[in-house]
Amino acid sequence: MSNQEDPILFLLCKRTLVKILLPDEQAELSNWLIQYWDQLFSFEVQPAYLAELEAFEQDTEASWERFKVKYHHELFPEGKARIPVLARAHTRVFKIALSAAAVLLIGFLLVPYLFRQFKPGRTPVKQVAIQEVPIVTDSFKAVLTLADNSAIALHSAQTGIIALQGGATINKPSNGLLQYENGNTPIDTTLLPNTLATPKGGRYQLTLGDGTKVTLNDTSVLRYPSAFTGPERVVELSGEAYFEVAKDTERPFKVKLKHGSEVLVLGTHFNINAYDDEPGATTTLLEGKIKITTAGKKSLVLKPGQQASIDKNEKLALANKPNINQAIAWETGSFDFEDQEFNAVMRQLARWYNVEVVYRQPIPNKRLYGSIRRNEPITKILSAIQNIMSFQYKIEDGKLILWN
């Protein structure tokens, strides 16, 4: 089976079996899901449906076929476009693919159950007066600071050439994109440092002079030269960014973090989460090879599918089977809260929705499960979480106040 024969089936299998999708692959699968989202969630998941799936792991394909037949009308109501039927093939590979696709699709069907159904004996939480926070789309907002300390608000800047830095031309081809194009004039780039900073609720994509693409998440800062001319390509990061590094074996690419840690690369795809309010810095590798080094010179070499973290005490840890899609969910426009603690989720919401989280009373730091698009209002996310744990909240004067 190849991605040319059936691209969606291919991505479903890769997502389920390999558990790694590149950002463009994740975007393609996400677009497909969005197209058929209403259809997937056009019915409430009832306990009877869940009971039907209890033997799913023992006989995946047969269970999925029984489920489709029994609940065909609920899944595919008349008058609505149907999810494309995956072409059949009489091979063992297809059976594995069907099982993988089924497992993933059932996972999507269970999401509304996790968020909508109350646990037995649980009393629904009464909500106090809530101030609705407007829907936040993927806001392409950032400020570019040039070498002379002049600042350009990119969301209001016109498209086209917005500045010149030595021999480099800085171009804004469209909203959300910034490109550096190097001329032929040699320049001392150490004298021309530029900084790209995103606010809360903002993100931006940057193409550096060597062709490296960097997507900045909200509340992040990237410092870099207007062109790379030395033996190394060095940038500095605070916050979170996804890198697609242009290959150049003669000039390694290096990302410096706070407290002296750094990531050394030759050419690869990886994500770095290094927010000040997180327990430490986490680097997740999708393609290629990178070397993580702490300020104390402890180091690890990562292979694709691995993740390394450095805590505040410079303890370096390696995870061989991390949740790769969770690490880059923000880059494809989603929150992925799978097995994340409540406090960690609140930190993400605070940064994206530009609110300060205030705990009026301690809230149990339970682990949450589920995912949701980042363009939903914060109140929808909080209400969904209220369905699985007890707390109350209100939003006023830019603060999200929580209590039991």
CATH of the domain at 378: 3.55.50.30
pLDDT value of position 123? 36
- Cβ contact 344:366 at 8 Å: no
371: pLDDT strictly greater than 60: yes
291 and 367 in a single domain? The answer is: no
Averaged confidence pLDDT in the chain: 76
Nearest partner of 393 among 185, 151, 75, 133, judged by Cα: 133
Count of domains in the chain?
3
Backbone phi, psi, residue 122, to 5° = -90, 135
**Tell me: the pLDDT tens digits for 17-28?**
444 556 666 667
278 and 363 in a single domain? The answer is: no
Last residue of a domain, one of 308, 326, 344: 326
Least confident of 75-84, 248-257, 284-293, 308-317: 75-84
351 and 297 in a single domain? The answer is: no
* Domain housing 174: 143-326
**Tell me: the pLDDT tens digits for 198-212?**
999 999 999 999 999
pLDDT value of position 187? 56
Does residue 46 lie within any of the structural domains? yes
Backbone phi, psi, residue 301, to 5° = -105, 125
Does residue 59 lie within any of the structural domains? yes
pLDDT value of position 58? 46
386 and 348 in a single domain? The answer is: yes
Last residue of a domain, one of 298, 326, 354: 326
Domain harbouring 165, CATH code = 2.60.120.1440
Residue 136 is given by DSSP the state -
* pTM (whole model) above 0.85: no
pLDDT value of position 101? 47
310 and 245 in a single domain? The answer is: yes
218 and 192 in a single domain? The answer is: yes
Does residue 297 lie within any of the structural domains? yes
Q: Which SS3 state, helix, strand or coil, does residue 247 take? A: coil
Does residue 14 lie within any of the structural domains? yes
Contacts of 238 (CB under 8 A, 6+ apart): 220, 221, 257, 258, 274, 275, 276
Does residue 123 lie within any of the structural domains? no
- 401 or 116, higher pLDDT: 401
Residue 202 is given by DSSP the state B
274 and 347 in a single domain? The answer is: no
Q: Which SS3 state, helix, strand or coil, does residue 314 take? A: coil
Distances (CA, A) of 203 to 30, 106, 141: 19, 32, 6
Does residue 2 lie within any of the structural domains? no
Q: Which SS3 state, helix, strand or coil, does residue 387 take? A: coil
311 and 356 in a single domain? The answer is: no
The secondary element (H helix, E strand) that includes residue 107 is helix 92-116
Does residue 130 lie within any of the structural domains? no
Residues in the chain: 404
Task: pLDDT band for 230, please (50, 70, 90 cuts).
Answer: confident
310 and 351 in a single domain? The answer is: no
83 and 209 in a single domain? The answer is: no
284 and 397 in a single domain? The answer is: no
Does residue 124 lie within any of the structural domains? no
Least confident of 142-151, 259-268, 391-400: 259-268
359: pLDDT strictly greater than 70: yes
171 and 213 in a single domain? The answer is: yes
